[in-house]
Amino acid sequence: MTLNLKPLFDLGQTTTESDSIDELLTETKLGPRDGAGKTVVVAMSGGVDSAVTALIMRERGYRVIGMNLRLFSPGDPEHAVNPCCGIPAMEDARMTCALIGVPFYAINMESEFSHEVVDRFVSEYAAGRTPNPCLECNRHVKFRHLVHRAHELGADFLATGHYARIEHSTEGPHRLFRAVDGKKDQSYVLYTLDQAQLGFIQFPLGHLTKPEVRRLARHYGLPVADKAESQEICFVGKGSYADFVAARRPDVTVPGDIVNVDGEKLGEHQGLVRHTIGQRRGIGIPRAEPLYVMKLDMKKNELVVGSRQDAEAPALTADRISFTSGFWPSEPIACTVSVRYRGHPAPATIIAGEESTRTALIEFSGDRPIAAPGQAIVFYRDDEVLGGGTIATIVRSAAERSGELIGSQAT
């Protein structure tokens, strides 16, 4: 039986505003009202996106259970350094669930988060790579444990406030797509979802824009309707990621030489951890033509810089490759790829290695991006997410390319 939501508070809506809200409550926007007799666990972060997700799933007729993962407690007593984590966020999630009348569970996952995300983040930066902690959190903590807990509760689905779309299928593979709102699309950090997860997960916000989500939240009086979004890495907060890493790995702050592609010394850096590949500002060497960071040479403790053209990647290799369809390709794939969160898609060809290696060579056929080992590279066909992996090496010469083709399926 469908639950017809009513505004939780009398907000004095005009007819025009009510009509606007009605447009947002259509099945085109929210999905079919198919929840009668079914249970869904909703991941409740304490923000407006997850709050509206719970609201939507209730409106679609599901029995909703709110679940908050306590991932990280900021060091300050008030948790004000980054309030997206810890007690304040958990209490916001609890308040929302109480207001819309659904049960709430809080699960402490700080140990798992510390090991799988924070420790990995530090070790990757200390190794000269550029990790994506949000992706690793999704891969190793959020979806792994949320799906498990939802199954334990006998739920039919897990729903989260991510901006992406899933097309479920009873005959072919489930498919993952970008969100309608390109400014909020999070498909880049979701490519690791496998078929079992895609079949069990729903993203109710995929057809909504962020302003529409806030309109729904305000209309129904949700306490987090105007809550600001966190723009920082949750466990770093408002500080510098370099300071965060340096506090745990002082060895990465040793000064060294800045050199060009020919090995000529141009200056000195104050620790490789304070630089990332593709960086243009903050190198400290004035030039008529901007310099870009090309490489962090950890063995020599050298920062290698060059022109934009020097820094661009004609090709690269990636490991930990996965494809959302669950099938490993036997032929090269022409598609577009992104090497940064909401980065500009670049045309490329994916040449997969043997399936047992989970590796691939990616050759760019148009714009050449600046990429860094450790970053995610995500494969798209139009708006569909085909898969992705982790950048392993940058291939800039024909000799390097020839070497990287060994073991691939290219002929």
Helix 87-100 to helix 48-59 angle (10° resolution) is: 20
- CA 18 to the chain's CA centroid: 34
Q: Report the alpha-carbon distance of residue 295 to residue 278 in Å, rounded.
A: 9
CA 80 to each of CA 73, 77, 135: distance values in angstroms, whole numbers, following the listed order: 10, 8, 24
Residue 134 appears among annotated catalytic residues: no
Residue 97 appears among annotated catalytic residues: no
C-beta of residue 56 within 8 angstroms of C-beta of residue 50: no
Q: Report the alpha-carbon distance of residue 16 to residue 342 in Å, rounded.
A: 34
* CA dihedral (192, 195, 200, 206) positive or negative: positive
Q: Which amino acid is at 341?
A: Y
DSSP secondary structure string for all residues of 1-62: -------SS-----HHHHHHHHHHTSHHHH-----TT-EEEEE--SSHHHHHHHHHHHHTTP
Q: Catalytic: which of 84, 134, 137, 335?
A: 137
Q: Which residues have a catalytic role annotated?
A: 137, 234
